[in-house]
Chain A
Amino acid sequence: MAVPPPHAAEAAPGRELPRWRRSAGVPAAAVVAVVLAAAGLIAGRVDLALLAVPLVAGVGLSWGRRPDPSAGGSVRLELGTPRGAEVDYVLSLRPPPGVEAVVLRQRLLAGEAREVVVSTAPDGALGGTVPLLHSGPQELVRVEYRYLGADAAAVGSPHEPLVAELVVAPARAEVRALPLPWRLQGLTGSHASARAGDGGDFRDVHRFVPGDRLRRIDWKATARRAGNAGELYVRRTAALADATVLLVLDSRDDVGEQVAEWSRNAAATMGVSSLDVAREAAGSLASAYIRAGDRVGFQDLSSTARMIPHGGGNRHLWRLLRAIETTAPSATPFSRHRPPIVPPGALVYLLSSLLDDQAVRLALTWRGGGHRVVAVDVLPAARLARTNRYQRLAHRVLLMERHDRIGLLQARGVEVLRWPDDGATLPRRVRLQLLSRPSRHGARPAVGRW
């Protein structure tokens, strides 16, 4: 997990004065006191009247110490500077005068709520540590609170919750071998294209044509091949070109490795999630291609707002990484009628868990359009702890359907790259090298294509 930026997040303080209400116990105690006193008076029993005295005094004392409704306090929730894979948070309480206790209801990582009742001692800064378990935008701490007056006779209304959020940058893996599109269409770059030009390795020996440089004339080849004195041969080199890459991130679902948690998907217990893997893969590929001088675009399938046209350079890389790390699953079902537009000759990476048919349909559409498509499988290896037999059966059915989808993709010429290094297959480095090698079956890399 990469260290998030230090400016992290800071929750705004509460912005409203508490509305105070009288506890239902106060009138109840008053009624009991009156009844006891009346009974004592009617029955001529002083002991009954005496029993009402502490009730009256207690209610009067606690209600008389109720907080001033026009006085406001402040509660502030701040995140500290992240330390490795965790971050500290501090809750500063400054309640209004008259408040004796604060009921706090806190939720870490959108998990189970915990309630704490604290006194309002002057040293009252509370805090804790939250582990950073996932990348992307996430709610780390949510605190709801209400004030209590003396003896809980006066009760403040619950305040708007304070929320500390953070966008955690994904980890970035080193990618050395870069698969390339079938056809490199750029005019400059770092990859050797099939086009004759400058910068690349030796391509062939060709007859001299107007426009060839004289210093490229290969006199030995001319002596060997020339049929007459006017026939010259030049040594040609391959031109360098950049690649156009489109990263399509399928953020419509986010499932963790703990299958038993798929229905709840709580951040604290779901384990490594598919979007964690997808963000890491997208960030790593974007960085590697931009460093190689290529142009990279980004498209989030669940949001048309997170679409970045292809480009190159460091500033573009920062835009890409920011878009990738803010990717979050959409709360509403999302279905595309038309696939995102892909630049001509681009290599398309589709990062998906492949748990439904939509991603497969998009990949096949792009593949049918002549693009090289690599489906990056980001589903983490399943952990079946605490699952019951029905969950295991459902999971098995899902995996069988997914396996069929992967088989269909491969049959239609879409290459599949499994990103998590879970030990089940070759290391990711080797898998990328295999994808980067020239293929003998039609799917040839850029070099030699033309």
Chain B
Amino acid sequence: MVSLRALTRPADLAAGDARLPGLALRAVLLAVGIGLAIVEEGGSGLLVVAIALAIGAAWAPQYLLGWGLILCLGLSQLARHDVLGWRLLVLLAGLHLLHVLSLLVLELPWRSWIQPSVLAGPLVRFVAVQLPAQALAIPTLALLAPGGGGHRPVTMAAFAGVGIVALAGLTALLLLPPPADIADAPGARPGSDAGEG
């Protein structure tokens, strides 16, 4: 008969190096959100709103407050001149990082333990997007943003038509319902096959 002395705590799933707590992602999201809020909204009244959104995004990601924070920080640019500077480049990277973290936080359980390799893919894609985005931002701002005297090297009107078409295409691309193959795939019917999971 087993005695109580033989009672051992059940071993964890030996998932090797799953040593990153799910809460750490939320902490990073909170830190990035608050950091960007301070950088962008340093002296304005929107700082409180941005910090509240950051806390909400980390605390209850199911309310999608992370994207509210992105929108808030992005639109706060309207209060500044569109000059090429480090602040805009940081914001460009920060908002993207907020988006990636919000997606992860939304789906990963906060009580879970995460293998660091799980974050390798998102990190690689973040870098892969940021490099061309930053490379695009610098010449674009250099060309389209006004210089010190308020003069724009290239007028915005020249790009307005292209912009409208691009915006319409972007809207259609992002907001259309998912492809039919997702919803009507054979796998969508439960129990349609055996031996597969």
Binding site for B on A (CB under 8 A): 1, 13-20, 22-39, 41, 43-62, 66, 69-70, 72-75, 85, 91, 100-101, 103-106, 108-109, 111, 114-119, 121, 126-134, 148, 150-153, 155, 159, 171, 257-258, 268-269, 271-272, 276-277, 280, 383, 420
Contact = CB atoms under 8 A, between A and B. Distances in A.
A45 B137 CA distance: 13
Chain B binding surface, main DSSP class: helix
Interface in B97-148: 99-100, 102-104, 106-109, 111-115, 117-118, 120-122, 125-126, 128-130, 132-133, 136-137, 140-141, 144-145
Contacts of B1: 1, 171, 272, 276-277, 280, 420
B94 to A, nearest CB: 10
Interface in B148-170: 156, 160, 163-164, 166-167, 170
B178 interface: yes
Nearest to B20: A117
Contacts of B141: 46-47, 50
A32 B75 CA distance: 10
Interface residues of B, number: 92
Contacts, number: 297
A39 B145 CA distance: 16
A61 B129 CA distance: 9
28 contacts: A15-B191, A16-B190, A16-B196, A23-B107, A29-B67, A30-B175, A31-B67, A31-B175, A35-B71, A36-B71, A37-B167, A41-B163, A41-B167, A46-B140, A46-B145, A48-B78, A58-B100, A59-B99, A60-B173, A61-B128, A69-B181, A85-B6, A100-B121, A103-B112, A114-B13, A117-B22, A128-B13, A152-B106
B122 A151 contact: yes
Contacts of A108: 10-11
Contacts of A60: 173
B95 A268 contact: no
Contact of B103 (A41, A133, A152): A152
A51 B192 contact: no
A45 B78 contact: yes
Given A51-B91, A54-B95, A130-B11, A151 B82 contact: no
B92 A19 contact: no
B113 A25 contact: no
B70 interface: yes
A116 B192 contact: no
A109 B9 CA distance: 10
B96 A58 contact: yes
B174 A129 contact: no
B121 to A, nearest CB: 5
B125 A47 contact: no
Chain A binding surface, main DSSP class: mixed
Given A46-B156, A126-B15, A257-B4, A119 B70 contact: no
Contact of B145 (A47, A114, A126): A47
Given A54-B92, A104-B13, A420-B1, 4 more contacts: A58-B96, A117-B112, A119-B117, A131-B8
B12 A73 contact: no
Contact of B10 (A41, A47, A111, A277): A111
Nearest to A20: B182
Nearest to A134: B2
Given A25-B103, A36-B75, A119-B115, A17 B96 contact: no
A44 B128 contact: no
B190 A69 contact: no
Contacts of B128: 61
B49 interface: no
B122 to A, nearest CB: 5
A197 B91 CA distance: 104
Contacts of B96: 54-55, 58
B115 A117 contact: yes
B195 interface: yes
A280 to B, nearest CB: 6
Contacts of A101: 118
B154 to A, nearest CB: 10
Interface-centre pick from A52, A57, A119 (highest chain B CB count, 10 A): A119
Interface-centre pick from A14, A46, A66, A276 (highest chain B CB count, 10 A): A46
Given A61-B128, A117-B118, A126-B15, A13 B196 contact: yes
Contacts of B175: 27, 30-31, 34
Q: What 6 pairs across the A-B complex have the smallest Cβ distances?
A: A14-B197, A17-B187, A72-B196, A30-B174, A115-B112, A69-B185
Nearest to A25: B103
B193 A16 contact: yes
